[in-house]
């Protein structure tokens, strides 16, 4: 099955190709798209770069690219095969008369076989744990054309859900920001949704996130400041602690990262970017680096590109919350002086500059690694296809303009589901 942008009477059919006229010379690419796609709203046009490949003369270009007369703008949809994970076939039961939950059934917890695509992680008696990749929004925006897990779910559900599937598509009861990846819970029936809300309010749901942060917090580190979420774009910390313990944030540091691990985390994060045409290439590179010989070569390249004298202190942390307010983790961590890597909203200018240098070091490390592999391919046991893959990754890495947000909802413990889904860069 393939996922595509939603189609309605205002939505164009892709691929779409248009030449730049003399009157459009010097126009920004995003302004040009507004001209040739008048039926799309501003938000939908911005999202074109998330789930389409926007090229000028067959080269991917950013929204601010200045066009010249005669250039060809082409938009193609990046289609991805949905390969749902096998999951234990649940026994679907009638809606319970009370909110009393069945005991969770222990067992292995599957992980996404393609981290750039949504999938079903677990199903238990009308309770479902879904995986949402980075770059895909959770909720559908009314009147918008942007892709979201909520909008895609009715179409995806028959392929995601094990047989026998329930008659109704489940309703999402948790939300994640677009840049945040990980677990999204869904239920069948209003009684289950109400039971979940009550369990959340009573602190009976434990949510654990993996994150990369600037600095090394003490162990454990507890943030209790109350939050002002009136502004939907930025959550502010208040001077007083929150009396509601379900709004607190507990951070457990797992240790600072060395150069090789830090730069490798960017590779695995890019491999999990929904809608990115480069995601499969980064996934292939991550698989290649699992080989000891190639991993050694990568560590040498990373240490050269990011020597100890310039290595920033970036730590892997596990963060636990019970309920969560908008941007709670991001605001609490930044307020304590430990902003998340890739969080341009809450980071200080110094942290933003450090990440720009880190991105350059990553691109340099990929170049060094590709060069070394070309010279020693036979010795390292790498095929010509492997060399070509790494060369393509190096080329695409130069188009990456910023780091993704390193925040992943990795584990949930509730009376109904106990599910884990750790990112490659943040496993315990």
pLDDT digits (tens, 9 = 90+) for 1-36: 334 444 443 444 556 788 888 888 888 888 888 887
Determine the 3-state secondary structure of 44 from DSSP.
helix
pLDDT lower than 70: segments of the chain: 1-15, 38-47, 50-51, 77-112, 141-146, 162-167, 232
Residue carrying structure tokens 């296809």: 385
Residues 6+ apart with CB under 8 A from 219: 252, 253
What is the Cα–Cα distance from 280 to 56, expressed in whole angstroms?
A: 22
Residue carrying structure tokens 């798209």: 33
| Residue 296 vs residues 29, 289, 293, 400: alpha-carbon distances, Å | 42, 9, 5, 25
Helix 29-36, helix 42-51: angle, nearest 10: 110
9 Ramachandran zone, left/alpha/beta (phi>0; psi -120 to 50):
alpha
| Helix %, strand %, coil % of the chain (to 5) | 30, 20, 45
Q: What is the pLDDT of residue 204?
A: 94
| DSSP at 341 | T
70 Ramachandran zone, left/alpha/beta (phi>0; psi -120 to 50):
left
Residue carrying structure tokens 């649940």: 90
> Contact 77/52 with Cβ under 8 angstroms?
yes
What is the Cα–Cα distance from 5 to 158, expressed in whole angstroms?
A: 18
Residues 36-70 pLDDT 10s: 776 565 666 666 776 677 889 988 888 888 999 88
Q: Give the residues across from 340 on adjacent strands.
A: 213
Q: b/e for 41-55, b at 16 or more Cβ within 10 A?
A: beebbebbbbbbbbb
Q: What is the pLDDT of residue 143?
A: 53
Q: Do you know the residue count of the chain?
A: 428
Q: How far apart are the first and last CA of the chain?
A: 33
Q: Where are the domains of the chain?
A: 16-77, 249-407
The encoded tokens of residue 376 equal 């020693």
What is the Cα–Cα distance from 257 to 236, expressed in whole angstroms?
A: 29
Q: Which CATH class is domain 16-77?
A: alpha beta
């Amino acid at each position: 099955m393939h996922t595509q942008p939603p189609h309605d009477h205002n939505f164009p059919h892709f691929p779409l190709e248009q030449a730049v006229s003399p009157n459009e010379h010097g126009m920004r690419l995003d302004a040009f798209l507004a001209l040739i796609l008048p039926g799309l709203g501003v938000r939908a046009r911005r999202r074109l770069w998330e789930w389409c490949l926007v090229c000028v003369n067959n080269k991917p270009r950013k929204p601010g690219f200045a066009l010249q007369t005669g250039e060809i703008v082409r938009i193609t949809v990046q289609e991805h095969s949905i390969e749902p994970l096998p999951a234990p076939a649940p026994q679907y039961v009638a809606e319970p008369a009370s909110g009393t939950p069945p005991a969770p059934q222990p067992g292995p917890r599957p992980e996404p076989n393609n981290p750039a695509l949504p999938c079903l992680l677990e199903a238990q008696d009308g309770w479902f744990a879904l995986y949402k990749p980075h770059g895909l929004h959770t909720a559908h925006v009314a009147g918008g054309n942007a892709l979201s897990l909520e909008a895609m779910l009715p179409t995806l559900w028959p392929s995601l859900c094990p047989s026998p599937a329930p008659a109704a598509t489940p309703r999402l009861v948790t939300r994640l920001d677009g840049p945040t990846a990980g677990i999204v819970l869904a239920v069948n029936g209003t009684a289950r949704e109400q039971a979940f809300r009550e369990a959340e309010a009573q602190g009976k749901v434990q949510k654990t996130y993996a994150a990369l942060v600037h600095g090394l917090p003490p162990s454990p580190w507890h943030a209790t400041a109350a939050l002002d979420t009136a502004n939907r774009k930025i959550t502010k910390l208040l001077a007083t602690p929150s009396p509601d313990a379900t709004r607190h944030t507990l951070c457990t540091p797992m240790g600072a990262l060395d150069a090789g691990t830090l730069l490798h985390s960017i590779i695995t994060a890019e491999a999990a970017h929904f809608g990115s045409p480069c995601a499969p290439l980064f996934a292939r590179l991550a698989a290649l680096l699992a080989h000891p010989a190639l991993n050694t070569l990568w560590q040498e390249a990373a240490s050269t590109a990011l020597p100890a004298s310039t290595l920033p202190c970036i730590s892997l942390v596990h963060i636990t919350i019970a309920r969560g307010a908008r941007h709670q983790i991001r605001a609490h961590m930044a307020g304590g002086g430990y902003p998340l890597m890739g969080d341009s909203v809450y980071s200080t200018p110094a942290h933003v500059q450090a990440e720009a240098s880190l991105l350059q070091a990553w691109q340099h490390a990929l170049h060094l690694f590709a060069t070394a592999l070309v010279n020693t391919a036979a010795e390292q046991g790498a095929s010509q296809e492997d060399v070509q893959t790494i060369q393509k990754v190096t080329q695409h890495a130069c188009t990456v303009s910023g780091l993704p947000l390193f925040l992943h909802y990795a584990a949930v413990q509730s009376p109904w589901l106990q599910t884990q889904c750790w990112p490659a860069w943040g496993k315990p």
